[in-house]
Amino acid sequence: MPLPTPIIEVLAAFRPLFTAPTWRKLMTLLTGTLLAQGRRTVAAALRHTGNEMETSFSTFHHVLNRARWSPLAVSRQLLRLIVETFVEAGGCLELVIDETLERRWGPKISKRGHYRDSALSSLKRSVSSPGLRWIVLSAVVTLPWSKQRCALPFLCVLATTPAVSAALGKRHKTVGMWARHMVKLVRRWFPTLPITLLGDTAYSILELGLRCQEQQVTLITPFHLDAVLHDPPPARDTHTMGRPRVVGLRLPSLEAVLVDPKTTWQRLTLDWYGQGERTLEICTGTALWYRAGLDPLPIRWVLTRDPQGKRPPKALCSTNQTQTAEGVVRTFMKRWSLETTFEESRAHISWQRSDGTSGGTSLFPHHLLILMWF
């Protein structure tokens, strides 16, 4: 069954990245993926394209585990399409980063580990599940025909446990280290495009903030209430002795600011994740986030609290000190769009390589469906 012309026009951008035999198999898999209902496996794609009796059916699995195509090249091309389609000229590319657990139990999955399962855990109970932990980087866009924001994943990296890294003979990299590599990679692809990165508490890392500052990327994450904050260093004159100071006087922690009766709070009304309007009280300020051995990071911090006291107070930080407190809060709320993407991917897509990991470092099989947005 041939694909419609609009889809062929979109896929034409990916054609130079594949050999002719791989491209023909990929078109078959794409057609079957669009037609399949439920789990999108290779077998399901072959059934819906009339190839269930194909004697060389194993060659279609080779697209994911043997064919020599570059997942990074596919990711770069996909992000370029997303930017050209959804990001206006002079606009900002908003990215959201998070981890997702792909539950796997097979004994031959060499990179499998045990991780906290956020879908099964709660505040009172922590549940761990075996599987693969993927760090996913997505672009947040608003579709022209909807007010709902969508997170379109274009790059993912497999993060292993220290024990698995040692067993594979590789240097272990933490989630923060992988995030720094991914930020640098995207900046290399788009040297001049304004970029904002949104993450949860796992990405509230000083080293990541410094990398984002180096790459001219704005990082917005939840912030630690007990973080060490300082004033800028005082100005030096010609008669000042000794090494120049890195930071100024230490500021009160956000925990102290939260309970200080002199703190000035402002009210902000937001559309709370599609659940109606909600009023928050916010206060903000600028400071240097500092830890010995690292450079200080200029940030804008924002404290939020519920006027009715039903929800715990939270803090956010942005590496862009010129950003307003309202802008920080509204931008950070876009991070939630990635949770919907994770749920839909787990419910409908299941591609697997020969070593038990899903299809490559670019999430390309997932993008067979995302291309329909174009």
Mean pLDDT value across the chain: 85
- For residue 357, name the pLDDT band (cuts at 50, 70, 90): low
| Interatomic CA distance for residues 207 and 11, integer angstroms | 38
Joined tokens for residue 184: 């640098």
pLDDT at 356 exceeding the cut of 70: no
Residue 283: what pLDDT?
95
Residue of 238, 203, 197 lying closest to 320 (CA atoms) = 197
Share of the chain above pLDDT 70, in %: 89
For residue range 294-332, what is the model confidence (pLDDT) as tens digits?
A: 999 999 999 999 888 888 999 999 999 999 999 999 999
User: Which residue reads 């925990």 in tokens?
Assistant: 255
Spatial contact of 231 and 316, defined as CB atoms under 8 Å apart: no
For residue range 181-237, what is the model confidence (pLDDT) as tens digits?
A: 999 999 999 999 999 999 999 999 999 999 999 999 999 999 999 999 999 998 877
The single-letter code of the amino acid at 65 is: N
**For residues 55-82, average pLDDT:** 88
User: Which residue reads 């939260």 in tokens?
Assistant: 258
Long-range pairs for 273-282 at CB < 8 Å and ≥24 separation? 273/333, 273/336, 274/148, 279/307, 280/304, 280/305, 280/306, 280/307, 280/329, 281/305, 281/306, 281/307, 282/325, 282/326, 282/329
| Interatomic CA distance for residues 6 and 48, integer angstroms | 21
- For residue 361, name the pLDDT band (cuts at 50, 70, 90): very low
Spatial contact of 198 and 220, defined as CB atoms under 8 Å apart: yes
Residue 313: what pLDDT?
92
Residue 151: what pLDDT?
87
The pairing of strands 229-230 and 277-289 is antiparallel
**For residues 126-134, average pLDDT:** 87
Residue 349: what pLDDT?
53
For residue range 5-19, what is the model confidence (pLDDT) as tens digits?
A: 767 777 888 999 999
Spatial contact of 140 and 337, defined as CB atoms under 8 Å apart: yes
Per the DSSP assignment, residues forming a β-bridge with 305 are 281
For residue range 238-283, what is the model confidence (pLDDT) as tens digits?
A: 777 778 888 999 999 999 999 999 999 999 988 877 677 888 999 9
Distances (CA, A) of 223 to 177, 229, 249, 256, 300: 18, 11, 20, 14, 10
Please list, in sequence order, all residues whose beta carbon lies within 8 angstroms of the beta carbon of residue 200, skipping any fewer than 6 positions away: 98, 221, 222, 335
Per the DSSP assignment, residues forming a β-bridge with 95 are 139, 197
Comparison of pLDDT for 320 and 90, the residue scoring more: 320
